[in-house]
Each structure stands twice: as structure tokens, then as C-alpha cells.
Amino acid sequence: MPVRGRGVLEGIRFAAGVASDPSAVVSLWKVATGGKAVGCLPATPFPELLHAADLLPIALESKEDLSLLSGRFDAWLVGVDPSPFPFPPGGIPRIAFPSVPPGSVEEALDRVEALAEWACGVSGTPASEGGLWKSIRAHAVRRSLLDALDERCARETAFLTPEERRDIVRAGIFLPPEAHSRLLASILGIDHESAAIAAEGERGDPLIVLAKRIVA
């Protein structure tokens, strides 16, 4: 194992803590921001939309995740197909998002607009155009840093153990994209601001940009 700097080691420890006890960081985020957490079964194709409405989308991977986050969700976004594992009943808001790809941009846009309206109802905060572009950009930055992490691990196979790498990636399920990007940048030893990239051109209606993502 190569010698690793303080930033790398601190990032690994933080990621391990988030991965093993996500409830603590989700609770802290809710208190700090006043935002609400949305349990997603399966993962939403539009985390940017929920994020722009001051929501924290969390894609659950297992029954264990559900148990670890018991009582932390304020709403559910579910698929129309049966869930791979049961989630608790209750009176909190819920929306079913179709898993079958739409056949046209118009149909996709209808779905996106319906989700945006629901998200606003849950959070009380509409996703503005500027907020959507900011969120799209934040998620794009995170994807670029995850790609950089993959490239670093492929180039330096001893840089991280498989368990460390898994925890670092898994931490992103429970962190907002900006926080996960700062974590990734600290581990990679790069400036977080330098990782910022233009998000899909930032031209036109961001809802249409998102809608085109799921067209068959």
C-alpha cells in the first residue's frame, strides 16, 4: 500500500462513516438545510430535479439501507413495478414514476413536469430554471470526479482497497452532490472548483434537457 496523505485518509474515514451509518449524515443535512429526504425505489433518473427543489433523493440498495434510515424519509418516489423489498406504509407523500421509457419528448416532458410539481408540493420550494441548471451542473461535476476516481484506481491499483472504493462511491447515495464532490476531490488531491464543468451546454429549458434523457 503506497503512502497516502492526510486528505486521502480523512476522506476514506469519512466515507466509511457515511456508508456504515447514513442516518447520521442525512439527519444532519435535514437539520442544517431544512430540506426533506426522499426514498427512491428504484433510483430516480432525475436526481437533479429533486435536488433543485431542496430535496435529498436517496436510492435504496437493500433492506439494510431501509433499516438504517428508518424514520428519516419525508416522501417516497417509487416505480410502478413491484418493489424488490417492502417499504413502510404511512401517510407521507408518494409518487409512482413509470419505468417504461416514453415514446416521445412530449410524453417524457409530461412526466418530468409532473415530478417537478410533486417535488414542489413536498418541499414547498419550486425548482427554478437557475436552480435546475445549478443542480445539473453539480451532478455533472460529481460524475466527472467519479470517472476520475475510476481512472486513478485503474492506473494505481493499490491506491484504494476494494472496500475503501466501495465506501467512497456508496457515500454519494446519502450526500448531496456538492458534498460528495468535495469528498472525491479531497481524496483525489485536486481542487474542487477546478473540477467544475459546463452542464449540457446550459441552453434552453432544463426540463426538456432532463426529459430527453429518458426517451426511448
> For the residues 39-55, what does the mean pLDDT come to?
93
Q: 162-174 and 22-33 are packed helices; what angle lies between their axes, rounded to 10 degrees? A: 30
Q: Quickly state the pLDDT bin for 105 (edges 50, 70, 90).
A: very high
Q: What is the 3-state secondary structure (H, E, C) of the chain?
A: CCCCCHHHHHHHHHHHHHHHCHHHHHHHHHHHHCCEEEEEECCCCCHHHHHHCCEEEEECCCHHHHHHCCCCCCEEEEECCCCCCCCCCCCCCEEEECCCCCCCHHHHHHHHHHHHHHHHHHHCCCCCHHHHHHHHHHHHHHHHHHHHHHHHHHHCCCCCCHHHHHHHHHHHHHCCHHHHHHHHHHHHCCCCHHHCCCCHHHCCCHHHHHHHCCCC
Q: Which among 42, 32, 39, 72 has a CA at the least distance from the CA of 57?
A: 39
Residue ranges of the domains in the chain? 1-216
Q: What is the mean pLDDT of residues 100-108?
A: 93
**Mean of pLDDT values over 1-28:** 91
Looking at every residue in the chain, the average pLDDT score rounds to 90
Residue 142: closest CA among 109, 188, 99, 104: 188
CA distance 82 to 88: 14
pLDDT tens-digit map of 71-93: 899 999 988 777 777 766 678 99
At 53, is the pLDDT very low, low, confident or very high (cuts 50, 70, 90)?
Answer: very high
User: Rounded to two decimals, what is the model's pTM?
Assistant: 0.91
Per-residue model confidence (pLDDT) at position 17: 97
